[in-house]
């Protein structure tokens, strides 16, 4: 009787253990199951230990049945372990990486055409002994105009349509801060901060409140040049700009200087090169439009008033200065017909450089 009860107990222990085992999802669960049933204090181990207390005739029967259950449970445990490992391997195979596939190419950035031309220009001047410096885009009226011999109400202010910043006003209620309309204010800042000799170029963004068209943007770059020392003459300016044009556009280019007016130079000139597309021979040339000449910058000898404004003695020092538009130069070099393409964010244009 006792024998039958023990046999039933073993069977239900086996069935419960197997049912539990089938729903275990991972190896840590399997280990907990092993400890619960087959461990030293496990449920089956307890039953097997109790065999010695049974009547002598029941011991071999229950002992043999208990061992059979143990072997069966160990066997099932091994099967379940293998099933869990295989399931994991199968899921890895689903996400497998095919290392024989070619890689996906990354889109590599490139330099903006303005940056390319700016680097080319500044490198040429660096090669001629000029230092490259930069200055603020938000500028004071004092540097953008007044230090450059353009006092308040001077008509020359109309040459530079200005974006004013309404943060600060002077005693008469006039704005004192602006987005610089040219890089020339850096002439005054540099001369104020340093004694001659000075040889600098200043690349930087400038802003003008003007209607845009194929040759006019409201934001564009300029490169300013300034050289101040004892005995600097117009001949030094001509030589420097000739050398620049030779390195930038080739040695066969001719250069033309014509009188022009800028309040901060005397004399002032505009500087052109002869058209490298048609050599001045094609009245329908798409680059010079038949003029034969391409204007590339304004320049001149630094006005004595500008030297005085920064505390230099114009009897002792003289200097030349120039200011050019790199986008206009890039347009000439690359045959770009509309300056608005530079900041239009059209990737089809930008990818060509």
Q: Is 323 in the site for ligand YSA (CB under 6 A)?
A: yes
| Upstream peptide bond of 267 is cis (omega within 30 degrees of 0) | yes
Q: Which two tokens stand for residue 240?
A: 């420097």
Residue 229 CA to residue 247 CA, distance in Å, equals 24
Does residue 322 bind ligand YSA (CB under 6 A)?
yes
**Cβ-based nearer residue to ligand YSA, 139 or 295:** 295
Question: Shortest distance, CB of residue 184 to ligand YSA, whole angstroms?
Answer: 4
CA-to-CA separations, 177 to 156, 157, 164, 321, in angstroms, rounded: 18, 14, 6, 24
Q: Which of the ranges 106-114, 192-200, 290-298, 330-338 carries the binding residues for ligand YSA, by CB under 6 A?
A: 290-298
139 binds ligand YSA per the rule CB under 6 A: no
Cβ pair 221, 326 in contact under 8 A: yes
In degrees, rounded to 5, the angle at the alpha carbon of residue 237 between the alpha carbons of residues 332 and 312 is 125
Contact with ligand YSA (CB under 6 A) among 202, 237, 265, 341: 265
Nearer to ligand YSA, 292 or 326 (CB): 326
Strands 293-302 and 198-207: unpaired
Asked whether the CA dihedral 238, 244, 248, 250 is positive or negative, the reply is positive
Q: Which is nearer to ligand YSA, 141 or 217 (CB)?
A: 217
Q: How far is the CB of 340 from ligand YSA (least distance, A)?
A: 9
Q: Which residue in the block uniquely carries the two structure tokens 């303005």?
A: 114
For residue 103, CA distances in Å to 30, 299, 302 come to 41, 53, 59
Contact call for residue 297 and ligand YSA (CB under 6 A):
yes
**180 near ligand YSA, rule: CB under 6 A:** no
Which residue in this structure is represented by tokens 């160990």?
74
- In the complex, least distance from residue 344 CB atom to ligand YSA, rounded to whole angstroms: 14
**6 is a site residue for ligand YSA (CB under 6 A):** no
Q: What does the CA dihedral 343, 346, 349, 353 come to, rounded to 10 degrees?
A: 70
The closest of 53, 38, 72, 70 to 2, measured between CA atoms, is: 53
For residue 108, the minimal CB distance to ligand YSA (Å) is 29
Task: State how far the alpha carbon of 114 is from the alpha carbons of 136, 172, 191, 207, 340, in Å.
Answer: 19, 39, 27, 15, 12
Q: Which residue among 6, 14, 180, 328 contacts ligand YSA (CB under 6 A)? A: 328
Q: Does 303 participate in binding ligand YSA (rule CB under 6 A)?
A: no
> Cβ closer to ligand YSA: 77 or 297?
297
Q: Which stretch binds ligand YSA (CB under 6 A): 213-221, 230-238, 247-255, 311-319?
A: 213-221
Report d(CA 121, CA 115) in Å as an integer.
10
Question: Which range touches ligand YSA (CB under 6 A), out of 2-10, 126-134, 236-244, 260-268?
Answer: 260-268
- Nearer to ligand YSA by Cβ, of 274 and 327: the residue is 327
Residues 6+ apart with CB under 8 A from 49: none
- If one asks whether residue 208 binds ligand YSA (CB under 6 A), the answer comes out as yes
Position 299 contacts ligand YSA (CB under 6 A): yes
Q: Structure tokens of 329? A: 């130069």
Question: What letter would DSSP give residue 146?
Answer: G
Nearer to ligand YSA, 62 or 296 (CB): 296
Is 262 one of the binding residues for ligand YSA (CB under 6 A)? yes
Answer whether the bond into residue 151 is a cis peptide, omega within 30°: no
**Should residue 327 be labelled a site residue for ligand YSA when binding is judged by CB under 6 A?**
yes
Task: Give the residue with the Cβ less far from ligand YSA, 264 or 312.
Answer: 264
- Residues in contact with ligand YSA by CB under 6 A are 182, 184, 208, 210, 216-217, 220, 222, 224, 262, 264-265, 268, 295, 297-300, 321-325, 327-328, 339
């Amino acid at each position: 009787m006792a024998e039958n009860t023990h046999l039933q107990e073993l069977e239900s222990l086996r069935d419960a253990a197997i049912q539990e085992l089938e729903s275990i999802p991972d190896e840590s669960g399997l280990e907990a199951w092993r400890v619960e049933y087959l461990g030293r204090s496990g449920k089956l181990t307890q039953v097997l230990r109790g065999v010695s207390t049974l009547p002598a005739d029941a011991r071999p029967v229950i002992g043999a049945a208990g061992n059979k259950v143990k072997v069966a449970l160990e066997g099932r445990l091994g099967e379940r372990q293998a099933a869990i490992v295989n399931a994991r391997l199968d899921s890895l195979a689903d996400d497998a990486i095919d290392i024989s596939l070619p890689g996906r190419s990354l889109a590599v950035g490139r330099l903006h055409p303005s940056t390319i031309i700016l680097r080319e220009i500044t490198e040429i001047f660096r090669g001629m002994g000029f230092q490259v410096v930069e200055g603020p885009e938000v500028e004071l009226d004092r540097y953008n105009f007044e230090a450059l011999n353009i006092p308040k109400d001077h008509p020359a202010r109309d040459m530079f349509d200005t974006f004013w910043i309404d943060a600060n006003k002077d005693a008469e209620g006039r704005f004192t801060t602006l987005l610089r309309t040219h890089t020339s204010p850096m002439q005054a800042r540099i001369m104020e901060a340093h004694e001659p000799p000075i040889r600098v170029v200043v690349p930087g963004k400038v802003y003008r409140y003007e209607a845009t068209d194929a040759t006019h943007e409201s934001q564009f770059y300029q490169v300013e040049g300034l050289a101040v020392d004892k005995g600097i003459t117009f001949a030094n300016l001509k030589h420097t700009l000739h050398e620049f044009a030779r390195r930038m556009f080739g040695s066969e280019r001719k250069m033309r200087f014509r009188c022009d007016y800028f309040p901060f130079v005397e004399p002032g000139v505009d500087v052109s090169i002869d058209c490298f597309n048609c050599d001045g021979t094609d009245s329908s040339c798409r680059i010079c439009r038949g003029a034969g000449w391409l204007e590339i910058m304004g320049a001149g000898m630094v006005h004595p008033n500008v030297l005085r404004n920064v505390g230099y003695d114009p009897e002792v020092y003289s200097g030349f200065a120039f200011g050019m538009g790199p986008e206009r130069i890039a347009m000439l070099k690359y045959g770009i017909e509309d300056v608005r393409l530079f900041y239009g964010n059209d990737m089809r244009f930008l990818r060509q450089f």
